[in-house]
Structure 1
Amino acid sequence: MTELKYQDLDLHNDQDVAEVAKIHCEAPGEWVPDHSYADDSVARAVENLRSSKHCSYVVLARRTDDRIVGMHWVQIEARSEAKFGNIFSLWVHPKYRQQGVATRLKELAEFWLRSNEVSEIRTNVYLENRRMMALNEKLGYKVVLVGMSKQLK
């Protein structure tokens, strides 16, 4: 396995912010065959990352040449005076999967959430993404809701 370094996203690094936003927008394409996105989707993701309205945290996995091979984006949300963490994105480059990268990214995000007095984390996973479902269950996540969709033609 290639040696990786893990670091927080620097919101002043325009190139990294743009890359994380693009990864976030592209990632569903692995699980949704007709997935597409527009440049304004990436721009909105950049805006969301930098917004002071959201308490966000992004941790990156990088190769020694600084190429991003994994990222995990979580936000703190509050409803009815309860705070919880919401996983916005988790992505690992296919060549780095099944090597503990996603687990490490999740551990770092969970540490950040705990340090911000968050006691619950929520996520959505595509049903076809069996590996992520298995990893989440291994890490203590429970299925609490199943979303369903129907395409109207």
Structure 2
Amino acid sequence: MNTISIRKVTLKDLEKLLEFEQGIITAERSFDPTLKEGKISYYNIEKMISAADVEVVVAVLNEQIIGSGYARIEDAKPYLNHKLYAYMGFMFTHPDHRGKGVNAQIIESLTTWVRSQDVFEMRLDVYNDNPSAIKAYEKVGFKKHLINMRIGL
């Protein structure tokens, strides 16, 4: 049986990561009416790859990249009981490999990196209308914390 491995990205992975970014945006358009029409970009992936405060990883199966994610160390608000936290994003699993625990393995790898940075708080954003993503994050220990509300005027 072939096993999924998690590794840090390299610039050679950039084309696939840009494809994954568009996959995320396509999926999120149905949840977010505020996204611009046409091609948009969320991330400067090339910059993230070289940043010391960001860990970008991919899941690999049979030499094919099937998933991605990142953790970025951020300064916490001064009123919180922690000075730093890790913001997690760019979570994508190729549709052919969903339900195989890819997301959990990526989160486990990022968690290990975050702890190695002496950071002990991780956060992420997920659309309220995306129950499958919420369930996946809850399955690995995340809990709902705040609800971000909006109104278009």
Same fold (TM over 0.5): yes
Match of 2:29 among 29, 32, 37: 32
Matches within 5 A, 1:76-115: 76-79=73-76, 80=78, 82-115=83-116
Match of 1:67 among 64, 69, 73: 64
Matches within 5 A, 1:2-151: 3-10=3-10, 12-13=11-12, 16-33=13-30, 35=35, 36=37, 38=39, 41=41, 45-50=44-49, 52=51, 55-64=53-62, 66-79=63-76, 80=78, 82-151=83-152
Aligned letter for 1:111? T
Aligned letter for 1:32? R
Tell whether the 8 Å contact from 1:74 to 1:85 is kept in structure 2 after alignment: yes
In structure 2, the gaps of 5 or more residues are none
1:31 is paired with a residue whose SS is helix
Query: How many angstroms apart in 2 are the aligned matches of 1:121 and 1:45?
Result: 21
Query: How many angstroms apart in 2 are the aligned matches of 1:93 and 1:73?
Result: 16
Name the stretch that deviates more: 138-147 or 109-118: 138-147
In structure 1, the gaps of 5 or more residues are none
2:132 is paired with a residue whose SS is helix
Tell whether the 8 Å contact from 2:14 to 2:46 is kept in structure 1 after alignment: no
1:136 is paired with a residue whose SS is helix
Q: CA RMSD in A?
A: 2.5
Q: TM-score, normalised by structure 2?
A: 0.80
Tell whether the 8 Å contact from 1:21 to 1:45 is kept in structure 2 after alignment: no
- Taking a change above 3 Å as real, the CA distance of residues 30 and 37 of structure 1, as seen in their structure-2 partners, is same
Aligned letter for 1:57? E
Q: TM-score, normalised by structure 1?
A: 0.80
